[in-house]
Amino acid sequence: MARLFSPRPPPSEDLFYETYYSLSQQYPLLLLLLVIVLFGLLALLTVAWASGRELASDPGFLTTMLCGLGGFSLLLGLASREQRLQRWTRPLSGLVWAALLALGHGFLFTGGVVSAWDQVSFFLFVIFTVYAMLPLGMRDAAAAGLASSLSHLLVLGLYLGPQPDSQPALLPQLAANAVLFLCGNVAGAYHKALMERALRATFREALSSLHSRRRLDTEKKHQEHLLLSILPAYLAREMKAEIMARLQAGQGSRPESTNNFHSLYVKRHQGVSVLYADIVGFTRLASECSPKELVLMLNELFGKFDQIAKEHECMRIKILGDCYYCVSGLPLSLPDHAVNCVRMGLDMCRAIRKLRAATGVDINMRVGVHSGSVLCGVIGLQKWQYDVWSHDVTLANHMEASGVPGRVHITGATLALLAGAYAVEEAAMEHGDPYLRELGEPTYLVIDPRAEEEDEKGTAGGLLSSLEGPKMRPSLLMTRYLESWGAAKPFAHLSHVESPVSTSTPLPEKALSSFSPQWSLDRSRTPRGLDDELDTGDAKFFQVIEQLNSQKQWKQSEDFNPLTLYFREKEMEKEYRLSALPAFKYYAACTFLVFFSNFIIQMLVTNRPPALTITYSITFLLFFLLLFVCFSEHLTRCVLKGPKMLHWLPTLSVLVATRPGLRVALGTTTILLIFSMAITSLVFLPAASNCPFRAPNVSSTASNLSWELPGSLPLISVPYSMHCCVLGFLSCSLFLHMSFELKLLLLLLWLAASCSLFLHSHAWLSDCLIARLYLGTLDSSLLRPGVLKEPKLMGAISFFIFFFTLLVLARQNEYYCRLDFLWKKKLRQEQEETETMENLTRLLLENVLPAHVAPQFIGQNRRNEDLYHQSYECVCVLFASVPDFKEFYSESSINHEGLECLRLLNEIIADFDELLSKPKFSGVEKIKTICSTYMAATGLNATSGQDAQQDAEQSCSHLGTMVEFAVALGSKLDVINKHSFNNFRLRVGLNHGPVVAGVIGAQKPQYDIWGNTVNVASRMESTGVLGKIQVTEETACALQSLGYTCYSRGIIKVKGKGQLCTYFLNTDLTRTGPPSATLG
Active site residues: 1019, 1055
Backbone dihedral region for residue 325 (phi beyond 0: left; psi -120 to 50: alpha; all else: beta): beta
Separation between Cα atoms, residue 970 and residue 1044, nearest integer Å: 17
Residue 711: strand, helix, or coil: coil
DSSP 387: E
In the chain, what is the straight-line distance between the N-terminal and C-terminal CA atoms, in Å? 82
Separation between Cα atoms, residue 757 and residue 355, nearest integer Å: 104
Separation between Cα atoms, residue 848 and residue 287, nearest integer Å: 26
Close Cβ partners of 263 (under 8 Å, ≥ 6 residues apart): 242, 254, 257
Close Cβ partners of 556 (under 8 Å, ≥ 6 residues apart): 562
Q: How far is CA 39 from the centre of its chain?
A: 46
Which amino acid, residue 208? S
Q: Would you say how long the chain is, in residues?
A: 1080
Residue 415: strand, helix, or coil: helix
Q: Which uninterrupted H or E stretch holds 265? A: strand 265-280
Separation between Cα atoms, residue 939 and residue 955, nearest integer Å: 9
Separation between Cα atoms, residue 808 and residue 29, nearest integer Å: 8
Cα angle 728-730-732, degrees, rounded to a multiple of 5: 80
Which residue from 903, 1004, 1042 is spatially nearest to 260, judged by alpha carbons? 903
Radius of gyration of the chain (CA): 45
Strands (E), 122-206: none
Give the β-pairing of 1058-1065 and 1046-1054. antiparallel
Which amino acid, residue 909? I
Separation between Cα atoms, residue 863 and residue 495, nearest integer Å: 9
Q: Quick check: 244 and 223 in contact, CB under 8 A?
A: no
Cα angle 611-615-618, degrees, rounded to a multiple of 5: 140
DSSP 429: G
Got the DSSP string for 756-820? HIIIIITHHHHHHHHHHHTTT---GGGSS--GGG-HHHHHHHHHHHHHHHHHHHHHHHHHHHHHH
Separation between Cα atoms, residue 298 and residue 282, nearest integer Å: 10
